[in-house]
Chains A and B, each alone.
Chain A
């Protein structure tokens, strides 16, 4: 079960002709898929398209009614490979994953798919994770379209345009026998808005009907000499067909006056940002009507030369607004102009920055710089000669701390890193690689464990150079998501085969947690449509790992510490794998909190634990925080004039996971932590016993208090 449920929203997917859908971009894309007779969908979760996978999973019932097959693929490669169904069969298929990392993983399948060509429309919906809030390296997916020759759609970021792009994408794919990638940027995925819906359409040929009548054609297989034919086919037939479709159906849009000495070419996804800059300069109205001609590329690959030439006709200055690097589009347009011997001046990455997100300010500065050079008379007076001095706002850059993402309150991964930190204090620093997933936060303070991440499921593979051994064993991290995505073969199999002597810690939190808590093969939850409950340790044994230690309660810091120490020091030669399992706290709370609340309401006995710190026992050295970093474990300044430093403090968001007590114990920190279990609806005997204890304890306390001076702090 995923972090966010779309069960309620999924009902909107049943809307038909004449209705209006209002909601998030992701949900709109799902609706558009159903309206366009998609036959099968799949993908792999990851920001920003995790929600798309969650919506699809929650909409499985509706899709089943239409005869649409939904597959939660094991990886992006598996998802892209699934599009093979559209190679021979006239069935529309769509898969989704994040770009560019997911596209990297899928690129083998994508390249083969593109070589074979498709019969049914094949749509790859990529959530491009670029700019602020991105969790990955900053690259573009654009280059993949260029190398494999598939077409790239980058629609304007509003719901009517995005949903239209789904329809256009399928049709373009079929018209040119080529897969089409629909790119939605991180904010377009979560942008809200409305569009007019149409009726859902059942696929004309379902996958079930298709396998009743299997087809094959060796001409579509990527083997010589057919692969040489495929390449020629791409260039001689599919490309011109695509250009024809793009032009005839006006997939790209032109806005503004027909005749003007200048114009702007913009990626569809950047259109709103460009219009905002023009609005701020007084050159566009609230609806985007502008005095500057705009050629909006809803298809960013291929660029249709005739269309571009027509837009440039009579213009002297052209700006290309293209986010990210390298500047593929600008280079292409430059080549067009040069070869045509054009005289007009091309602007792009000279007035706009080569790297980084095109934020509002960047766009405003870039467009202003372009207009200053191309048509200064268009700029408002205050831009041409600013006279008002901006007020000086104090610099806070040294005051405001950075706030990178980290482990949630009660996260079961924190104690794993606390245990590893204790081993590090004991045995010294080890070579450690991380992997993709929440556990990569372990590389940040306070733990600072792990110094590299090479890709999903590649943590142990990234230590392969050290597989030959040395004075100290290398350690690598791997999550359950990464394990099933790629890690079992590329990392664990690799270690076994190469007789590695290193150590792997598999963080098993029951979900693909970082992407939003989707189920994986080893998830413990029952899932009606998926097979869960397949233990990681069984898979490890299956590929030949002999030294396996299963930890079923990661909060036992001492056990984690001892197990890691044992793995590092044992005489056993060969891969040593520790599977550390405890449920993701975010998901656990989401599951258990409502149950607990209703149990309390029904009068059943419920024990709610929470941790606390005795402020007068805490000395304010914060050693506990350096082994925890839990958001609920924070600091508090005391009123006591004798105390210089703030003391540890646990706020009411504590979920009572137990980590604080375990760390205080395992690291021999201090006795200031306590756990308080509040017992709701205690039984009769329990109450009687508590009363008795209370009276004895109270008598002892009173007796001692009567013999000494007591100091009572009174508030001023």
Chain B
């Protein structure tokens, strides 16, 4: 008979194995980072093993690299080929949601894991597709990271690297050095980069930035800034005087409305002129007259925002104006990192349809043409094709510049007439239930958010808006009407075809 086996004292050297995982998005250079870590460990007299899964994951999918190391001896250690939950010493996540994924997969535990994460976002397709705001909540990930990690180093490693003309692998490697999680001196890390031999100088700069971020880890875990930008207005004296008059009207408004009203006024005046700004304030004051401090002026704040958006609609004149401003040229030059001695050539992509042309006609004429399919077909034949305007050239620029200067004429266009009618109808309908149901009125005002986009997208937005406003009529009088309108609006923003919205409307019909 065999003797019974007894449990051994665990081998202390097993605990000395350093286990490091890198969770990256394909194309981020996770392989380069892993290569540096390996070279570093070997050069420092460690036995080291790295593994990766290079398959299809390299095509923008999430992928894991894994490294184990332990001081070298005459025997070969047995290393694992993949990270295990609860058994990772250093977790490097090269993107904020990958930080979240590493936590979800159990690779970050409070008893041992140093978590080095980049706070920047590479949005997943599912986040980008939604017609509304589908971006995942990074704060939730941050909160979980603070609980899960023994040590947490979070910084925008992507930005740190790009600022140095490098890529994220270098700043992450720097943060790894700065974290002190590996028993090697800084110089040894830098030597590994030099030994790699590619883009050494830029990588070393990125490395230094990451190192500094990790060393000042407390500062690096910065809270996102919340302060809003403020607008400053300048211009000819006569116009400034008109502007001051308008601002004085805002100053008379209740505090909670003022900020939004200022932003709204700036947008509307920028869109047209001070007189139009006056009309904006007329509308707003109309709402204010029916509002009260009892609900903290929520109705007026919503009105200040959405009336401005409704008045500053997206017509060709506005687009042409925005596209030909000098501020835009400066912005592009900055964004494209144009250096001294280089030139920038611009191409704009326009595709006018008959609808856009007719909307630019004088109101009566436009309405007539719109009602006549043959004339619209003719306009399509003449105008409906993609136009590439090269706005660094005089011809295209002057054409857009002239279009952008048609503000004086704008108020007589068909589009202006349609937008004004729409605005009035929306305000009337939104404010109708005000006396019975304040919250419902606020939610109805907010439905203006659904109208956006150009051409077909704009038409779809309009139809969703109409659907929600119609459904609201069914709900009028119910206690939960405001909740339902908010829900409908959210549903409308979930998918482009309005499937979620249709479902929500069906639900409402089922209980009405």
Interface residues of A (CB under 8 A from B): 22, 47-48, 50-51, 129, 132-135, 157-158, 160, 186-188, 190-193, 259-262, 271-273, 275-276, 279-280, 282-288, 291-292, 314-315, 359-361, 364, 375, 377-380, 391-394, 396-397, 399-409, 438, 441, 444-446, 514, 558, 607, 610, 612, 614, 616-617, 619-623, 625-626, 629, 631, 633-635, 637, 639-642, 644-646, 652, 661, 664-671, 673-682, 686-687, 690, 693, 696-698, 700-702, 704-716
Would you call A406 and B59 a contact (CB within 8 A)? yes
Given A396-B141, A642-B267, A698-B326, 17 more contacts at CB 8 Å? A51-B54, A192-B38, A276-B84, A360-B84, A400-B141, A558-B386, A631-B27, A639-B228, A642-B305, A645-B449, A645-B452, A652-B162, A671-B350, A706-B236, A708-B239, A710-B235, A710-B270
- Specify the chain B residue showing the minimal Cβ separation from A605: B343
A282, B8: Cβ atoms under 8 Å? Answer: yes
What is the count of residue pairs linking A and B with beta-carbon distances less than 8 angstroms? Answer: 432
Contact yes or no, A446 B129, CB < 8 A: yes
Q: Nearest CB to that of A275 among chain B residues?
A: B78
A667 to B64, CA, bound (A): 38
Question: What interface size band does chain B fall in?
Answer: 35 or more
Complex: chain B residue closest to A697, CB-CB: B397
A646 CB contacts on chain B under 8 angstroms: 133, 135
Contact B233 A710 (CB under 8 A): yes
Contact residues in B for A715 (Cβ distance below 8 Å) = 229
Q: A47-B56, A669-B454 are in contact. Are A446 and B125 (CB under 8 A)?
A: yes
Contact A279 B11 (CB under 8 A): yes
Please pick, from B14, B52, B101, the residue contacting A190 in the complex, using a CB distance under 8 A: B52
Residues of A within 8 A of B398 (CB): 700
Cα distance A75–B234 when bound, in Å?
Answer: 70
Q: Which residues of B contact A48 (CB under 8 A)?
A: 53-55
Selected contact of B319 from candidates A261, A287, A671, A677, CB within 8 Å: A671
Question: Which residues of chain B come closer than 8 Å to A291, judged between CB atoms?
Answer: 5, 8
Cβ-based interface call for B170 (8 A): no
A360-B82 CB under 8 A given contacts A187-B53, A709-B235: yes
Task: Using CB atoms, name the residue of chain A closest to B86.
Answer: A361
Neighbouring B residues of A359 by C-beta, 8 Å:
82, 84
Chain A, Cβ-Cβ closest to B197: A8
**Chain B residues numbered 38-93 whose CB sits less than 8 Å from any CB in chain A:** 38, 42, 48-64, 70, 75-87
Interface status of B6 (Cβ within 8 A of chain A): yes
CB pair B386–A666 under 8 Å, yes or no, is yes
A669 and B455 contact, CB distance less than 8 A: yes
B394-A693 in contact (CB<8A) = yes
- How far does the alpha carbon of A100 sit from the alpha carbon of B350 in the complex, in Å? 50
Q: Are B54 and A47 in contact (CB under 8 A)?
A: yes
**A399 and B100 in contact, given A51-B54, A635-B127 (Cβ under 8 angstroms):** yes
B235: contacting residue among A187, A665, A708, CB under 8 A: A708
B 223-267 to A, binary, CB cutoff 8 A, 1 in contact else 0: 001011111111110011001000000000000000110011011
Our pick among A276, A292, A380, A397 for the contact of B10 (Cβ within 8 Å) is A380
Residues of A contacting B123 with CB < 8 Å? Answer: 634-635
- CB A8 to nearest CB in B, in angstroms, measures 10
Residues of B near A282 (CB, < 8 A) are: 7-11, 14
Task: Tell me if B347 and A661 are in contact (CB < 8 A).
Answer: yes
Contacts of B362 in A (CB 8 A): none
- Determine whether the beta carbon of A399 is less than 8 Å from that of B141: yes
B137–A132 touching, CB < 8 Å = no
Q: In the assembled complex, which residues on chain A have CB atoms less than 8 Å from the CB atom of B140?
A: 394, 396, 399
User: Shortest beta-carbon distance, A310 to chain B, in Å?
Assistant: 15
Contact of B308 among A441, A445, A642 (CB under 8 A): A642
Q: Which of B334-342, B468-476, B480-488 faces chain A?
A: B334-342
Residues 374-404 of B, flagged 1 when their CB comes within 8 A of A and 0 if not, give 0000000000001010011110011001001
Interchain Cβ contacts under 8 Å between A and B, 9 examples:
A259-B2, A271-B78, A272-B79, A285-B11, A403-B98, A405-B61, A408-B27, A693-B394, A714-B232
Measured CB to CB, the closest approach of chain A to B97, in angstroms, equals 5
Q: Which of B103-111, B181-189, B202-210, B421-429 contacts A (4 or more CB under 8 A)?
A: B103-111
The interface bits of chain B over 108-149 (1 if a CB of A lies within 8 angstroms of the residue's CB, else 0) are 101000000000011111111111110111001101100110
How many angstroms from the CA of A438 to the CA of B59 in the assembled complex?
A: 9
> In the complex where A287-B78, A619-B454 touch, is A132 in contact with B128 (Cβ < 8 A)?
no
**Chain A residues within 8 Å of B328, by CB:** 614
Once the chains bind, are B394 and A696 in contact (CB under 8 Å)?
yes
Q: How far is the CA of A658 from the CA of B260 in the complex (A)?
A: 38
Assess the B76–A400 pair: CB atoms within 8 A.
no
Partner of B129, one of A399, A607, A625: A625
Of chain B, the residue at the smallest CB distance from A375 is B5
Which of A157, A392, A637 is most buried by chain B, counting CB atoms within 10 A of its CB? A157
Q: Which residues of A contact B233 (CB under 8 A)?
A: 709-712
CA distance A399 to B104 in the complex (A): 10
A286 engages B11 (CB within 8 Å): yes
Q: Mark B399-436, 1 if CB is under 8 A from A, else 0.
A: 00100110000000000000000000000000000000
Tell me if A396 and B100 are in contact (CB < 8 A).
yes
B122, A671: Cβ atoms under 8 Å? no
Closest CB of chain A to B390's CB: distance in Å? 9
8 Å CB contact of B49 from A192, A288, A676, A700: A192
Say yes or no: A286-B137 contact (C-beta < 8 A), given A132-B64, A405-B56.
Answer: no
CB distance from A255 to the nearest CB of B (A): 10
Residue of B81, B128, B319, B454 near A622 (CB, 8 A) is B128
A623 in contact with B229 given A378-B7, A403-B97 (CB within 8 Å): no
Q: Which residue of chain A has its CB nearest to the CB of B52? A: A190
CB distance B129 to A360 under 8 Å? Answer: no
Residues of chain A contacted by B401 (CB below 8 angstroms): 700-701, 704
Q: What's the minimum C-beta distance from A664 to chain B, rounded to whole angstroms?
A: 5
B509 within 8 Å of A (CB atoms):
no
- Decide if A693 touches B392 in the complex (CB within 8 Å): yes
CB <8 Å contact, A712 and B231: yes
User: Inside 8 A of A639's CB, which chain B residues have their CB?
Assistant: 228-229
Q: Is B200 an interface residue (CB 8 A)?
A: no
Complex: A622 Cα to B240 Cα, angstroms: 37
Q: Which residues from B are CB-within-8-Å of A444? A: 125
In chain B, residues 142-176, which have Cβ atoms closer than 8 Å to a Cβ of chain A?
A: 143-144, 147-148, 162
CB of B323 closer than 8 Å to a CB of A: yes
Give chain A residues whose Cβ lies under 8 Å from the Cβ of B342.
Answer: 678-680, 682
Distance of A299 Cα from B101 Cα, bound (Å): 37
Q: Is B478 in contact with chain A by the CB < 8 A criterion?
A: no
CA distance A275 to B77 in the complex (A): 10
A409 contacts which chain B residues (CB < 8 A)? 27
What are the residues of chain A within 8 A of B349 when measuring CB–CB? 661, 664-665, 671, 673-675
> Are B338 and A678 within 8 A (Cβ)?
yes
For A709, list chain B residues within 8 Å (CB): 233-236, 239-240, 243, 269-270, 274
A407 touches B56 (CB 8 A): no
Which chain B residues lie closer than 8 Å to A673 at the CB level?
348-349
A680 to B351, CA, bound (A): 30
Let me know if A714 and B55 touch, CB within 8 A.
Answer: no
- For B100, B323, B452, the residue with the greatest tally of chain A CB atoms inside 10 Å of its CB is B452
Contact A396 B144 (CB under 8 A): yes
User: Does B13 touch A at the CB level, under 8 Å?
Assistant: yes
Contact of A393 with B5 in the complex, beta carbons under 8 Å: no
Interface: B293 (CB within 8 A): no
For the complex, give the distance between the alpha carbons of A356 and B230 in Å: 56
CB distance from A435 to the nearest CB of B (A): 14
Q: Which 3 A-B pairs have the closest CB atoms?
A: A360-B84, A133-B53, A282-B10
Q: B4 at the A/B interface (Cβ < 8 Å)?
A: yes
Q: Which residues of A contact B267 (CB under 8 A)?
A: 642
Closest chain-B Cβ to A598's Cβ sits at a distance in Å of: 15
> What B residues does A705 contact at CB under 8 A?
325-326
Residues of B within 8 A of A441 (CB): 59
Contact in complex: B104, A400 (CB < 8 Å): yes
Contact B7 A408 (CB under 8 A): no
Contact of B51 among A22, A190, A612 (CB under 8 A): A190
A405 nearest in chain B by CB position: B61
